[in-house]
Amino acid sequence: MATYTAARREAKQGYVMIAPTLIYALVLLAAPLLTILAFSFFKDGYLTVIREVTLANYIAVWTDPIFRAILLRSLCVAVMVTALTVGTAYPIAYFLSFGVSPGKKSFWLFLITIPFWTSYLVRVFLWKVIMGYNGVINSGFEMLGLMGDGRLFEDPFRMLSTMPAIAVTLAHCYAPFAILPIFVALEKIDRSLHEAGRDLGESRWTTFLRVTLPLSMPGVVAAVLVVFIPVIGDYVTPELIGGGKLPMVANMIQAQMLPLDNKPMGSAIAVSAMVTVTVIALIFVGLVRIFVKGAK
């Protein structure tokens, strides 16, 4: 009886301490998300919502070829962005962890995080400037005399309103999200494991493959999730870089929620997209767990 009082008192203090934040999150995060879930089963009346449970929204969403095309495009972009971001981030994280002296690590991390904190909209817009028809890249080629009739490139590149352009822009935005978890995972690896790997006859490269990579997998998985899930919901980049011609899920949700004011439909799209993303993410985590030992 007396045995458990200390633990119980500690738990009580813990609950009291976390209560303000928890209540805030319940009221302003959990409740709204549940409301969206509920709305997705309601019917849209003009200017109001009819509280009548129906699957009509979901049927409409999933039979709509436009939605399917947009969802597929969003997923494609998200996969591209994730592959690009994580693929390019890994060497950077590796460099930070192994190639930078301990005293300089936080400076490098600081350098890498700064662009992430500077005006998102302006950054996206500048990618439009860089990749535009008479933008930095094209005019650069022109200045170098590589472009024009009979030169290396005949015409300026049309880069905007393409999926790769969207992917590059988003990869830029989410870079720190990919670098940091991998860096943290690499930092946790005991340095003597590398020496042990070399000592046991592995080359640098095979040591990397057999020791470093598997041990850093948890970081890679975290990076993938932290990039893949939010990218699906990006609104600004398709709007600015895609020029509105390549909408993604977020643009569709926004259109239903605000201009069209069909909130049940918007909710159904949001829920469908989030469920799809979550399922894909879970499948990914499951596959990694099966194939890579050492990943948790």
Partner 1 sequence: MSDRKPMIEFNDIQKFYGEYHALRGITATIREGEFFSLLGPSGCGKTTLLRTIAGFEDISSGAVLIDGHDMAQVPPNKRSTNMVFQSYAIFPHLTVAQNVTFGLRRDPRTKAEKAGLVEDMLGKVGLAGYGKRAAHALSGGQRQRVALARALILKPKVLLLDEPMSALDRKIREQMQVELIKLQRDLGITFVLVTHDQEEALVMSDRIAVMFEGEIAQLDDPETLYRKPASRRVAEFIGAMNFLDAEVIGQADDGITVVVDGLGQVVLSHSQVSTAHDGTVAVGFRPETMTILQDGQTSDGLETLGVIEEVVYYGDMTYYDVRLNNGKRSVRISMRNLFGRTIPDIGANVRVAWSPGALILFQ
Partner 2 sequence: MKVSGLKCYAYLYLLFLYAPILLLPIFAFNDGTVIAFPLKGVTFEWFGQMWENETLRRALTNSLIIGTSSAVLATILGLFAARATTRYRFPGKGPITALIMLPLVLPEIMVGSSLLIVLLGLGVDLSIVTVILGHALIATPFCIALLSTALGSLDRSLEEAALDLGETKWSTFWLVILPLVMPGIISSLLIGFVISMDEFIIAFFLAGNEPTLPTYIFSQLRFPKAIPMIMALGTCLVVLSVVLLTIAEYFRRSGLARAGLKDTGGFL
What is the spatial distance between Cα 141 and Cα 136, in angstroms, rounded to a whole number?
Answer: 9
Give the number of residues in contact with partner 2, rule: CB under 8 A: 91
- Binds 164: which of partner 1, partner 2, none (CB < 5-8 Å by kind): none
Angle at the Cα of 210 (from 209 to 215), degrees rounded to 5?
Answer: 95
Token pair 């099966």: residue = 290
Phi/psi of residue 68, nearest 5 degrees:
-60, -40
**Shortest Å distance, C-beta 174 to partner 1:** 37
For partner 2, give the closer residue by CB, 114 or 193.
114
- Binds 175: which of partner 2, partner 1, none (CB < 5-8 Å by kind): partner 2
> What would the two tokens of residue 62 be?
């999933």
Stretch that binds partner 2, among 52-60, 155-163, 247-255, 288-296 (CB under 8 A): 247-255
**Shortest Å distance, C-beta 226 to partner 2:** 6
Our finding on whether 291 is near partner 1 (CB under 8 A) is: no
Stretch that binds partner 2, among 65-73, 101-109, 148-156, 159-167 (CB under 8 A): 101-109
Residue 131 and residue 180 in contact, taking contact as beta carbons nearer than 8 Å: no
Our finding on whether 73 is near partner 2 (CB under 8 A) is: no
Q: How far apart are the first and last CA of the chain?
A: 37
Contacts of 84 (CB under 8 A, 6+ apart): 167, 168, 171
* Sign of the dihedral through C-alpha 47, 36, 284, 80: positive
**Shortest Å distance, C-beta 60 to partner 1:** 55
* Binds partner 2 (CB under 8 A): choice among 69, 136, 279, 287: 136
- Binds 2: which of partner 2, partner 1, none (CB < 5-8 Å by kind): partner 1
Q: How far is CA 275 from CA 115, 195, 257, in A?
A: 31, 44, 19
Residues in the chain: 296
Our finding on whether 247 is near partner 2 (CB under 8 A) is: no
Count Cβ atoms below 10 Å from residue 47 Cβ, excluding itself: 6
Specify which residues 44 forms β-bridges with.
49
Touching partner 1, residues 2-61 (CB under 8 A): 2-7
Count Cβ atoms below 10 Å from residue 50 Cβ, excluding itself: 11
For partner 1, give the closer residue by CB, 8 or 210.
8
- Binds 265: which of partner 1, partner 2, none (CB < 5-8 Å by kind): none
Residues that bind partner 1 (CB under 8 A): 2-7
